[in-house]
Structure 1
Amino acid sequence: MVRIDLKEKEAGTGTDLDSVLAKQRAAFNAHTNPPWSERKANLQKLGKAIEEHAEEFQKAISEDFGNRAYEETTIAELLVIKGGISHALKHTKHWMRARRAPTALQYKPASNRIIPQPLGVIGIISPWNYPLQLAVMPLIGALGAGNRAMIKPSEYTPRLSDLLKRVLGTIFTEDEVYVATGGVKVASAFSALPFDHMIFTGSTSVGKIVAAAAAKNLVPCTLELGGKSPTIIDESANMDTAVARIANGKLLNAGQTCVAPDYVLMPAEKINSFSDAIIEKAESFYPTFAGNKDYTSIIADSHYARLQDLLEDAENKGARIRVAGDDDKQQLAKERRVPLTVVTETTPDMKIMQEEIFGPLLPVVASETLEDSMQYVQSHERPLALYWFGEDKSKREKVLTETISGGVSINETAWHVVQEDIPFGGVGPSGMGAYHGEHGFETFSHMKGVFTQSRFSQGKNLFPPYTDKTRKMLGLMKKIL
């Protein structure tokens, strides 16, 4: 297992974090509802800073992983952030406005409004797999909603974490945005802080720990977790299209993606041809895996060993293993590279079918009908994403309406995550709450309901002592309802 110097003395103790939170809360209380001009300026300087340091971020992330293509970081992190900031700059001024709400007839001529207000200080705990995107995207929502923020990045990406701390420290004061670097002790202290809202992205197991810590202070949480995201290939699917897009979604970041297609459901008679086709597609993407600058390394020795253990367990229980490429195994291990590996003849007792894979291993499960596939999905924990490939609209709608998942991409994988006009979030074990775009603005805001009574109100007729006039008024109200 790779050991990382956590530098906890530099990162700050729990007491230091308490102090930063106190500063941020005092600053917020002195300025509770920043105008659009301030929020706009914060978003603009955030975008400018990320763009100006783009190459440094690419380099830091690649070094933390062992290798990750600069282009992959651009696609999966920098462009996503740029899109999020652009969308927020276009729409946040409108989202900030108070909005009228209907008033039930029996209470007229009173009126209702909803006023968005900042919550205060937002805690952001971000993971290692997309260490820049998953720290900055929640920050965009928090700043757009008028909040202060504290960020705790993963200890698995120390170079990126230190760079993010330095870059954000040049454009924000400590009482605006603060980055806390360090290891488990810092993370534990961070999750126990009495934030006004906390967002955590990571594994379900750690999410439970974070939620429990937050509950002690009644801190509301948005949890972006994971799980086993299924891919259903219908008989009406264009197989060439499906193979290419599943391969791309599975191999992006070497499968270290919370919404990567975790396993495939399809008829048994098509499994061999699918396996051959997706292996061939992977080899066309990456003619070699070892030494290939376009292919991402597994983040750490412990994660590499975990993937090997999943494969060994599956093979020992009768699975068939097919590996893309013919790279030297020792060199692959040295570089922590795992080629696309298709696992067929799977059984439920295999660990690869019980745990989120988070790597480029792709189990294929025999499922003869759409009903079989849906029953399989619904009998397991609700996933963060679901993918369906096919052209049959009636079957597509059946899947959409009768399965439950955090989000869905149709004839594609993963791209629903970067759409700013739809929410991104999990359900049940794959998470709670959502963000991105307006949904992020509302997550990091208090949508305050305001009732304004009219001077012409007849509510006084409901005051005690109760009389025939009161009872007559109640009768009228019942009729209205």
Structure 2
Amino acid sequence: MNAPQSNTLSADIELRMQAALDTQRDAYLKEGMVTASTRIDRIDRAIDALVRHSETISQAMNEDFGCRPRQVNLMTDVSGSIGCLKHCRQHLKSWMKTEKRPSMFPLNLLGSRSTLEYQPKGVVGLLSPWNFPLGMAFEPLAGVFAAGNRAMIKPSEFTPATSSVMAELVTEAFDPAELTVFTGGPEVGQAFSSLPFDHLIFTGATSIARHVMGAAARNLVPVTLELGGKSPVVVSRDVDLSQAVQRIMVGKLLNSGQACITPDYVLVPEESLEEVIRLATTAVNEMYPSLLSNDQYTAVVNDRHYQRLTAYVADAQERGIRVITINPANEDFDADDGHKIPPTLIVNPGDDALCMQDEIFGPVLPIKTYENFDETLAYINSKPRPLAAYYFGNDGAEEQRFLTGTTSGGVSINDVMFHMLQKDLPFGGIGPSGMGAYHGAEGFKTFSHAKAVYRQTKRFNVAKLAGLLPPYGETTEKSIRSNIKR
């Protein structure tokens, strides 16, 4: 009985999503030119909705995670989204301007003109993740609206309370022909990714991205994939070690490491290992004197991810790898059912350890040592290209070797994650960590069609002058000779 009912529900949601897409596309086509004032109005309504519902959003996130600090919710998801929306609102008029491009000689002298004009793509689908459930929907949405598009959002089923609030505030602020939200489980996400959008952006795991990209490919839908990977941190010998370790731990423990650009492993000089461990322990003790009852220390989102992370630690222990649990108040985590995991250092794990196989996405941090700096570059380059890479040091030449010798989606120097906060820098990955980017002008261009426009002069018969007009003769041969030469 359950299977037919499930199939009926699946078919129903597919029909409703396709109908929503058709409604948005029809409205887009009828609208014609999407003016700057229309784009700004949509952005303003999004900002207003986030401001008015900010505390409700935070409460929903806390409910979804079991414990997620209000301050983190408001600083990352809400403030981050508003920042992107405001940045797009400020700059979209200049981004919309037609760009002049040179026409080939001698057409440029005869009055012909070439331009590049940015046109909305139409309807954009956004598949957003659970770790920053609002921010990873509304930050790219800023670029979607700035480019003049309409949008449909499918948020993660792992954060149902936040998804419900998102759907409510969108319904309150927008006509469904402009923006709409569809909630539900994996079957909804699968159907959503199969829709014939004009562009699709997915934020999430690389393994899921392969399915999303495959589904989009069936309709030749262009995709932007913001994925992840094992983002490395290299700590130089020429560094303020105390400052570096504190900044690494602040980034690592933001949202308990449940971030796509969180430091995934750290490479430190072998002689600095024990000092790094001591400083990491000190940093955690200062930030989180206790963990279990501390509402500023985020829980792991659900049991599935809790079990995955504890398996990484158990695997390291079974292999005899040194594991350091940082537990400032000596609390009993085994007796807790709130899915909190203490910050855990895994020292010099081999590449066969589970914690070095996949993106960790939690408060577990492998620390590996190196003897020569070149070892760090070789090690990073032996792995799939990450979404982010981090370097701490004061040696300019070494920094440059790091920048030119590794390839990643983005880089922060002497800190972690801050490159993503810069609203005018593109954010995205490369290879298995993603493709395409959003934020700033690059985000506007991602969600726009750059239309090449050539305007021919009417004063001359250009085809005849260029020897393109049959029957071909000496003018044609002269044109050929002038171009086929060194």
Measured against the shorter chain, the TM-score band is over 0.9
SS at match of 2:124: strand
Q: Please say which of residues 120-129 and 92-101 is displaced more in the overlay.
A: 92-101
Aligned position for 1:230: 232
Aligned position for 2:362: 359
Residues 131 and 153 of structure 1 are in contact (CA less than 8 Å); yes or no, is this contact kept in structure 2? yes
TM-score, normalisation: structure 2: 0.95
Asked if residue 276 in structure 1 is aligned to residue 282 in structure 2, the reply is no
Q: Aligned equivalents of 2:336 and 2:21: distance in 1?
A: 43
Cα drift, residue 459 of structure 1: 3.0
Cα drift, residue 457 of structure 1: 5.7
Q: Aligned equivalents of 1:418 and 1:11: distance in 2?
A: 40
Aligned position for 1:427: 430
Q: Deviations over 1:229-271 (max 9, x none)?
A: 0000001111111011100000000000000000001122211
Aligned position for 1:147: 149
SS at match of 2:450: strand
Q: Aligned runs of 1:77-116 on 2, under 5 Å?
A: 77-109=77-109, 110-116=112-118
Aligned partner (choices 329, 332, 340) of residue 329 of structure 1: 332
Aligned partner (choices 164, 167, 170) of residue 169 of structure 2: 167
Q: Aligned equivalents of 1:188 and 1:139: distance in 2?
A: 21
Structure 2: which 5+ runs fail to align?
1-5
Aligned partner (choices 464, 475, 479) of residue 470 of structure 2: 464
Q: Aligned equivalents of 2:335 and 2:360: distance in 1?
A: 19
Residues 121 and 147 of structure 1 are in contact (CA less than 8 Å); yes or no, is this contact kept in structure 2? yes
Cα drift, residue 103 of structure 1: 2.0
Cα drift, residue 108 of structure 1: 2.4
Aligned position for 2:56: 56
Q: Deviations over 1:273-315 (max 9, x none)?
A: 1011101101110000101011100000111111010011111
Structure 1: which 5+ runs fail to align?
1-5
Q: Aligned equivalents of 1:424 and 1:258: distance in 2?
A: 12
Aligned position for 1:208: 210
Aligned position for 1:194: 196
Return the letter of the residue paired with 1:185.
Answer: E
Asked if residue 474 in structure 1 is aligned to residue 480 in structure 2, the reply is yes
Aligned position for 2:348: 345
SS at match of 1:462: coil
Cα drift, residue 478 of structure 1: 4.5
Aligned position for 1:3: none
Cα drift, residue 329 of structure 1: 3.0
Q: Aligned runs of 1:16-95 on 2, under 5 Å?
A: 16-95=16-95
TM-score, normalisation: structure 1: 0.96
SS at match of 1:335: coil
Q: Deviations over 1:294-350 (max 9, x none)?
A: 110000011111101001111111211111124433467412111111110311110
How many equivalent pairs are there?
A: 474
Cα drift, residue 78 of structure 1: 1.6
Aligned partner (choices 397, 402, 408) of residue 405 of structure 1: 408
Aligned position for 2:393: 390
Q: CA RMSD in A?
A: 1.7
Q: Deviations over 1:402-453 (max 9, x none)?
A: 1100000000100101211111000000001111111111010000011111
Q: Deviations over 1:142-187 (max 9, x none)?
A: 1111111000000011011011000010111111101000101111
Return the letter of the residue paired with 1:183.
Answer: G
Return the letter of the residue paired with 1:346.
Answer: P
Q: Aligned equivalents of 1:12 and 1:69: distance in 2?
A: 37
Q: Aligned equivalents of 2:71 and 2:11: distance in 1?
A: 30
Cα drift, residue 34 of structure 1: 1.2
Q: Please say which of residues 338-347 and 105-114 is displaced more in the overlay.
A: 105-114
SS at match of 1:334: coil
Cα drift, residue 11 of structure 1: 12
Asked if residue 371 in structure 1 is aligned to residue 374 in structure 2, the reply is yes
Return the letter of the residue paired with 2:311.
Answer: D
Residues 406 and 424 of structure 1 are in contact (CA less than 8 Å); yes or no, is this contact kept in structure 2? yes
Cα drift, residue 33 of structure 1: 2.6
